Chains A and B, each alone.
Chain A
């Protein structure tokens, strides 16, 4: 179980996250909200890129006090809205860099990489230089990076952003397989409600930095407050 408790982030006079809390117990969970709701801020707080008050726990481990790079070593993985893979490296090396700092044998690392590459359909192209990859393939590398090194929490920040319908579906299939590949709790941030509905069991909805709903995805998406937030109108009776 992953628990966010009372997360608050302030940038000067602006409160980007306001006492947000949630308990994620399902394998794949969504975080949605309109632009500026605080989704990426929440992800950056969990990653350790931003400081906050409150706590972040996973099965009893308090990870909110760890520096960012140690959270990755602990088992936190994330992708970015704009993928962050190194052009200088091959696909395989982009995965290996995460494994370099983990206490696993060479054979375990090899098997781990092969599994991640297989799951994302990149196994035949592991030696290709990342600089020459198309946008969707770069996104797949970003996802493969999240699968290596026994992840405990995986976060995808708008992994489907800018993708075609066909690519988003393919992405959805890859994300939906994550519970078979790892024991991690996965958090998916996306604007694509169809994708969230298709793969996420529970969903947290943020608006103006506050939690406005959390629970089973279908129920949350039917919540009038959520519809109102997305449509930018007052709550309907």
Chain B
């Protein structure tokens, strides 16, 4: 496939991102700008777990925990050195990518349930570390935690207001999606497709399975790290409860509900994860009710929609065009 040739779905996605970039900060008020920023960060993280599932059939249940690693590094860098936001973000992404590789090492020879379990255990370990040592907030020492107040967080020079920062996060998320799509169209994407078919098929194609699986883990880690760094920038500080192992399971489940193969599915996952609970709060409903809806939606996706809600939405438009 030509690297730069736009697909119909891709074109719709870029238009969608541009519309969001232009109009969301205008339409949303202060609190909702932060909620949408958070939802966009989780969309970026979900894109990593979704591409691993859709392209390699690998279930990784540690993505939100890896976001926590990215967020931790971002806060640590922010309070330690006076570097630009983008440099800190790049470091957060790179460190999390390396972290993803380290976590992946024992998982590279595993598949299916065992792979899912080992990534979940890694997420559990990170949850303990985050709960014990918390996130840097400008304190002294390596862990950088001080009681009560937190030091200020420096956002990008071009995006200091909430509205501008939402635009910034949307732009970075779009870039993340384009990186995944570029991979899909190049040698790694083809190698992943063969691995997904079967390891025998991959070996018979000359694909080094360990190398390309590690590459996938690294890319997913990079996306999680950048997403965590952006989340830190949105809120200014992070809480360990955000990165519990159960949240990684939830994000993966929502990627399945939305549809892991399509960009829209990942966006749906991010929106369901962050926007729906906020809406319930707004309507004075218990936000935990969303779990019931998520459970029903997951059943629906598993039983009737292999490509999730996004597959059904694109299917409807396809049907409309044909008729």
| A49-B200 in contact given A86-B194, A90-B1, A97-B193 (Cβ < 8 Å) | yes
| A68-B203 in contact given A88-B55, A93-B1, A100-B187 (Cβ < 8 Å) | yes
A217 in the interface (beta carbon within 8 A): no
Chain B interface residue bracket vs A: 20 to 34
Main secondary structure of the interface of B (DSSP, over half): helix
CB neighbours (8 Å) of A48 from chain B are 203
B190 in the interface (beta carbon within 8 A): yes
Say whether B197 contacts A85, CB under 8 Å.
yes
B158 in the interface (beta carbon within 8 A): no
CB distance from A100 to the nearest CB of B (A): 4
| A100-B190 in contact given A73-B206, A145-B205 (Cβ < 8 Å) | yes
CA distance A100 to B198 in the complex (A): 18
B204 in the interface (beta carbon within 8 A): yes
CB neighbours (8 Å) of A93 from chain B are 1, 190, 193
CB neighbours (8 Å) of A77 from chain B are 204
CB neighbours (8 Å) of B187 from chain A are 97, 100-101
CB neighbours (8 Å) of A68 from chain B are 203-204
Which of A48, A86, A145 has the largest number of chain B CB atoms within 10 A? A86
Say whether B191 contacts A69, CB under 8 Å.
no
For window 81-115 of A, CB contacts with B under 8 Å fall at 84-90, 93, 96-98, 100-102
Tell me the number of A-to-B contacts counted with CB atoms below 8 Å: 69
A78 in the interface (beta carbon within 8 A): yes
CB distance from B59 to the nearest CB of A (A): 18
B1-43 interface bits toward A, Cβ cutoff 8 Å, 1 = contact, 0 = none: 1000000000000000000000000000000000000000000
CA distance A97 to B202 in the complex (A): 9
| A88-B196 in contact given A78-B204, A101-B207, A145-B205 (Cβ < 8 Å) | yes
Nearest B-chain residue to A146, judged by Cβ: B204
Say whether B201 contacts A100, CB under 8 Å.
no
A124-144 interface bits toward B, Cβ cutoff 8 Å, 1 = contact, 0 = none: 000000000000000000000
Q: Per a CB cutoff under 8 Å, which of B55, B196, B198, B206 touches A72?
A: B206
Say whether B1 contacts A84, CB under 8 Å.
no
A80 in the interface (beta carbon within 8 A): yes
For window 188-227 of B, CB contacts with A under 8 Å fall at 190-191, 193-194, 196-198, 200-209
CB neighbours (8 Å) of A100 from chain B are 187, 190-191, 206
CA distance A83 to B256 in the complex (A): 28
A19-41 interface bits toward B, Cβ cutoff 8 Å, 1 = contact, 0 = none: 00000000000000000000000
CB neighbours (8 Å) of A102 from chain B are 206
A8 in the interface (beta carbon within 8 A): no
A47 in the interface (beta carbon within 8 A): yes
Nearest A-chain residue to B261, judged by Cβ: A88
CB distance from B190 to the nearest CB of A (A): 4
For window 47-90 of A, CB contacts with B under 8 Å fall at 47-49, 68-70, 72-73, 77-78, 80, 84-90
Nearest B-chain residue to A90, judged by Cβ: B1
Say whether A86 contacts B201, CB under 8 Å.
yes
| A86-B204 in contact given A69-B209, A93-B1 (Cβ < 8 Å) | no
Say whether A86 contacts B203, CB under 8 Å.
no
Say whether B204 contacts A97, CB under 8 Å.
no
CB neighbours (8 Å) of A88 from chain B are 55, 193, 196
CA distance A139 to B208 in the complex (A): 24
CB distance from B56 to the nearest CB of A (A): 11
| A72-B203 in contact given A86-B193, A90-B1, A100-B187 (Cβ < 8 Å) | yes
CB neighbours (8 Å) of B208 from chain A are 69, 101
CB distance from B106 to the nearest CB of A (A): 20
Say whether B193 contacts A69, CB under 8 Å.
no
CA distance A58 to B109 in the complex (A): 31
Nearest A-chain residue to B206, judged by Cβ: A72
B220-244 interface bits toward A, Cβ cutoff 8 Å, 1 = contact, 0 = none: 0000000000000000000000000
Nearest B-chain residue to A44, judged by Cβ: B200
CA distance A87 to B190 in the complex (A): 11
Nearest B-chain residue to A77, judged by Cβ: B204
CA distance A51 to B197 in the complex (A): 23
CA distance A165 to B208 in the complex (A): 38
CB neighbours (8 Å) of B55 from chain A are 88
CA distance A85 to B197 in the complex (A): 7
CB distance from A218 to the nearest CB of B (A): 32
CA distance A101 to B201 in the complex (A): 15
Say whether A87 contacts B197, CB under 8 Å.
yes
17 A-B contact pairs sorted by A residue (CB < 8 Å): A49-B200, A69-B203, A69-B207, A69-B208, A72-B203, A84-B198, A86-B190, A86-B197, A86-B201, A88-B55, A88-B193, A88-B196, A89-B190, A93-B1, A96-B190, A97-B194, A101-B208
Residues of B within 8 A of A (CB): 1, 55, 187, 190-191, 193-194, 196-198, 200-209
- The 3 lowest CB-CB distance pairs between A and B, nearest first, are A84-B201, A72-B206, A86-B193
